[in-house]
Amino acid sequence: MTSMSDKALLEVRSLAYDYNGKLAVDHINFSIQPGEFFGLLGPNGAGKSTTIACVSGLLSRFRGEMFFSGKSFSPAKNLSDRQHIGIVPQDLAIYEHLTARENLQTFGGLFGLSGKKLQQAIDRQLEIAGLTDRAKDLVKTYSGGMKRRLNLACGLIHQPQLVLLDEPTVGVDPQSRNHLFESLKQIQAEGTTILYTTHYMEEAERLCDRIGIMHGGKIIAIGSAKQLAIESGLPNSNLEEVFLKLTGRSLQDS
């Protein structure tokens, strides 16, 4: 089956996922264009991480359809589909008893890289992550920010077309956070497409070309920060004010 939106790199149609009968993702639709930085913005529990898990193949029993470059896409079932994506999870997915270089060798090998091509990819990612000088040190000696930067590098080692980042700046110091932002804008400029989840308004406003606002498992609005402000009737407001108008000011603890 082929998608009608052939220009989109990723298209998600009526995606739904429930935990014990409670919908965490409620029949959402969105598409991402090649080279776009697309954000999913919402509070904890909005369904962002579940969406990322479905798109990445970590969850398989969802309802709905996905397409990649116009073709049916199912990374949970097809190994070949996984080659197109890189995943940077919210929880660190690196080996602390290995060095940064050994981590990158491990993840690169999982994607079939070897020899000179693997070593070049490792050197490149160490440079992007700002870890070249600490490449031979055990990861357990790293700061939290350094671990986050290595986490990103491991997700990029095979140069995927689409990178999925699930709240990658949680617990990160300002310097490492800024370095992550600069690295992401650099890889976007080189042609990588990015799907980024966050609950930080300033991150979404600074990084994203378009933003999908999630609330209660639904995407309730999509557009650039400027478009969202205009469409919500707050043309001169920042993204936080727009977000609060669209989602309400009640606490989202449940």
- pLDDT tens for 47-100 read 999 999 999 999 989 999 999 999 999 999 988 899 899 998 888 899 999 999
In a domain, 21, yes or no: no
Is the per-residue pLDDT at 20 higher than 80?
A: yes
In a domain, 175, yes or no: yes
- Residue 4 is predicted with a pLDDT of 47
The predicted model scores a pTM of 0.90
In a domain, 220, yes or no: no
Q: Are 71 and 149 in contact (CB under 8 A)?
A: no
The contacts of residue 38 (CB under 8 Å, 6+ apart) are: 30, 32, 193, 194, 195, 196, 208, 209, 210, 211, 212
Tokens of 168: 């990658």
Number of structural domains found in the chain? 1
Q: How far is Cα 199 from Cα 189, in angstroms, rounded to an integer? A: 24
In a domain, 124, yes or no: yes
The contacts of residue 34 (CB under 8 Å, 6+ apart) are: 7, 9, 161, 191, 193
- Residue 5 is predicted with a pLDDT of 52
Mean pLDDT of the chain: 90
Confidence band for 122, pLDDT divided at 50, 70 and 90: very high
Phi, psi of 197 (to 5 degrees): -105, 145
Is the per-residue pLDDT at 242 higher than 80?
A: yes
In a domain, 226, yes or no: no
- Residue 6 is predicted with a pLDDT of 58
Is the per-residue pLDDT at 235 higher than 70?
A: yes
% of the chain exceeding 70 in pLDDT: 95
In a domain, 229, yes or no: no
Is the per-residue pLDDT at 252 higher than 60?
A: no
Annotate 13-52 with DSSP letters as a single string: EEEEEEETTEEEEEEEEEEE-TT-EEEEE--TTSSHHHHH
Once rounded to an integer, what is the mean pLDDT over residues 190-198?
A: 95
Residue with the two structure tokens 């149609």: 13
Tokens of 35: 């080279």
In a domain, 244, yes or no: no
CATH number at residue 104: 3.40.50.300
Once rounded to an integer, what is the mean pLDDT over residues 182-194?
A: 93
Q: How far is Cα 194 from Cα 84, in angstroms, rounded to an integer? A: 12
- Residue 254 is predicted with a pLDDT of 47
In a domain, 120, yes or no: yes
Comparing 15-19, 20-24, 208-212, 248-252, the range with the smallest average pLDDT is 248-252
- pLDDT tens for 135-156 read 999 999 998 889 999 999 999 9
Give the largest CA-CA distance in the chain: 56
- Residue 145 is predicted with a pLDDT of 87
Once rounded to an integer, what is the mean pLDDT over residues 247-252?
A: 64
State which residues form the domain around 177: 10-16+30-198+208-212
Once rounded to an integer, what is the mean pLDDT over residues 218-231?
A: 94
Once rounded to an integer, what is the mean pLDDT over residues 165-178?
A: 85
What letter would DSSP give residue 250? Answer: S
